[in-house]
Structure 1
């Protein structure tokens, strides 16, 4: 089971702001953020748990709500490149090239931080991860609030990241504000790329190493064995066990699947030619990496909610396009 998010407030139904049907109500969320409140909102990757990035007390509330250790830094979301430059002490040409190529979009760039960024955001490190999201609701919220927004995924720490507003509410029911912007279209967290020291990917995402190397040929990939449970790291998402449902996750060839009798079994598959699975709840995901990534977390949420105690995941392909998917699956399956 995941650590419960702690709260000294009585649980209540959050204010659900429908940014699609009633876009003008997004101003309520912007006002709340400026006032130091925590607001869940959609990005193209996953839903984020946002707070004013320059307000230390508001940022600490993110950690309290998630049950997140203070050694795990946050990513700061900004409305444009100029806003990103205001938060760092150095903006090299490489950052400019990456921003021009991938922003707005699912790439986080790690740079030396400015002194205006609180230590709570960066886990006390001298660097900060920043990105400009492309989701129209996130972009509008950043424009209205006119502040940088620190935001990890809007779920209990180590749990499955939310790709729908209902996932947020189910996981963090005592939130005060949740912005509903529909389903996310990327479905996995951003690629985190560091320009502090050796230029390299710290956390894989759907922006691949090959794409980055077209801009920075000397860029290096990530080490899939990287993990930091007890010490601060320059990137979030590096805990051994992460992105995981309450159910046990096993990656297994469905033709030789392990015995899991006596349990309610869920199955995630991507091959249309896989053998039938009797007495199992099956979620079939697209066979392309983008489509699979978009649906993976939602499938895990659905199988968990259905009471599955074991989830079998059919191994997807191993080429570069699937690198981020494999990263998330391996961490979800870590016992």
Structure 2
């Protein structure tokens, strides 16, 4: 398959290009496009053959549900059984934006999209290119992240090209994404709204709407034996090629432990990559040190996380030693992605 790659201005997308991409969607093709979180790989949600192409291109397990992307709240109603007051409140407050809501699906939604579940995940992206593509396609777009299954999510078009060139019909290059980690997935079918995946909308943000919010236990626990509620949570995600260890604890203790472990690995002849922060990067004398961002502005770490993992892939390191962050705000999403990337290999120091 020949993949068309086209550059588009983020805030002023060329209408002809968007129409061409929308035509591909209408004809049952696949288009990778930027959102405010990460790049997505989209297809017509009502075309099962097109949806199959997403799973094939990514090598994605069939029981891992897809998120549907809409450009207006009106588009949600035919997709779900009902929209209750809590959902309306959340959509009014956070849409468009990085919040995915779980609804009971209508008969229009194929089980292929939902991994056999009776629920469907929907969000409205806050990105001009994504919004225009959905509007011109005139259908909700099913779209997981535009990467090979298990690899770090793509935050620029280069990442998508590396993974999916020759596997999809079109890649829209809209530059780097803003948030850098995927949307928050929220289940409001229970008495207490439950976060199934932390992301751009934080636990603290949701507490402004609800008196109580909780995390699915698999997110806040490091016990790998806990069965997650969402099928997509059970697979290894975001993994670099190299072995990865995440260190958790006091910053000084983490730095000391990483330095000690790095020396040990280098004595064994291994090429070591260190994921540091702006506040600590000068502390390291060994290894290839890349900074994720600032601990004082964890949004910068979220924005750079997947990019750094992919950079270490290019540098062919044998092992990655990463500093953890505190779980306040978007820190929970960062640590969730790190935990997935290292396969639960977390060392408390």
Instruction: Report Cα offsets for 1:277-296 as digits up to 9, x if no partner.
Output: 33422211221111110111
More helix by share: 2
Contact kept? 1:228, 1:239, Cα under 8 Å: no
Contact kept? 2:63, 2:231, Cα under 8 Å: no
Question: How has the CA–CA distance of structure 1 residues 240 and 124 changed in structure 2, closer, same or farther, with 3 Å as cutoff?
Answer: closer
> Equivalent residue for 1:146?
138
**In structure 1, C-alpha distance between the alignment counterparts of 2:115 and 2:140, rounded to whole Å:** 17
| Offset at residue 233 of structure 1 (A) | 5.1
**In structure 2, C-alpha distance between the alignment counterparts of 1:187 and 1:151, rounded to whole Å:** 16
Question: How has the CA–CA distance of structure 1 residues 271 and 105 changed in structure 2, closer, same or farther, with 3 Å as cutoff?
Answer: same
* Other structure's SS at 1:179 match: strand
**In structure 1, C-alpha distance between the alignment counterparts of 2:156 and 2:123, rounded to whole Å:** 21
Point out the more displaced range, 38-47 or 302-311. 302-311
| Offset at residue 226 of structure 1 (A) | 9.0
Gaps of 5+ in 1: 1-8
Point out the more displaced range, 83-92 or 278-287. 278-287
Question: How has the CA–CA distance of structure 1 residues 109 and 37 changed in structure 2, closer, same or farther, with 3 Å as cutoff?
Answer: same
* TM norm structure 1: 0.90
Question: How has the CA–CA distance of structure 1 residues 226 and 23 changed in structure 2, closer, same or farther, with 3 Å as cutoff?
Answer: farther
> Equivalent residue for 2:4?
15
2:204 is the counterpart of 1:210: yes
Point out the more displaced range, 263-272 or 106-115. 263-272
Point out the more displaced range, 16-25 or 81-90. 16-25
* TM norm structure 2: 0.87
2:338 to 317, 321, 329: 329
Instruction: Report Cα offsets for 1:99-132 as digits up to 9, x if no partner.
Output: 0000000000000001101111101111000000
**In structure 1, C-alpha distance between the alignment counterparts of 2:71 and 2:306, rounded to whole Å:** 26
2:80 to 88, 100, 103: 88
Point out the more displaced range, 323-332 or 173-182. 173-182
Aligned pairs, how many?
322
2:311 is the counterpart of 1:302: yes
**In structure 2, C-alpha distance between the alignment counterparts of 1:254 and 1:241, rounded to whole Å:** 26
> Equivalent residue for 1:3?
none
Point out the more displaced range, 20-29 or 68-77. 20-29
> Equivalent residue for 2:265?
260
Point out the more displaced range, 70-79 or 205-214. 205-214
> Equivalent residue for 1:293?
302
> Equivalent residue for 2:242?
247
> Equivalent residue for 2:283?
276
Q: Which runs of 4+ in 1 moved over 6 A?
A: 226-229
* Other structure's SS at 2:215 match: coil
Gaps of 5+ in 2: 248-253
> Matches of residues 44-123 of structure 1 in structure 2 within 5 Å?
44-123=36-115
Contact kept? 1:205, 1:324, Cα under 8 Å: yes
Question: How has the CA–CA distance of structure 1 residues 117 and 159 changed in structure 2, closer, same or farther, with 3 Å as cutoff?
Answer: same
**In structure 1, C-alpha distance between the alignment counterparts of 2:338 and 2:212, rounded to whole Å:** 28
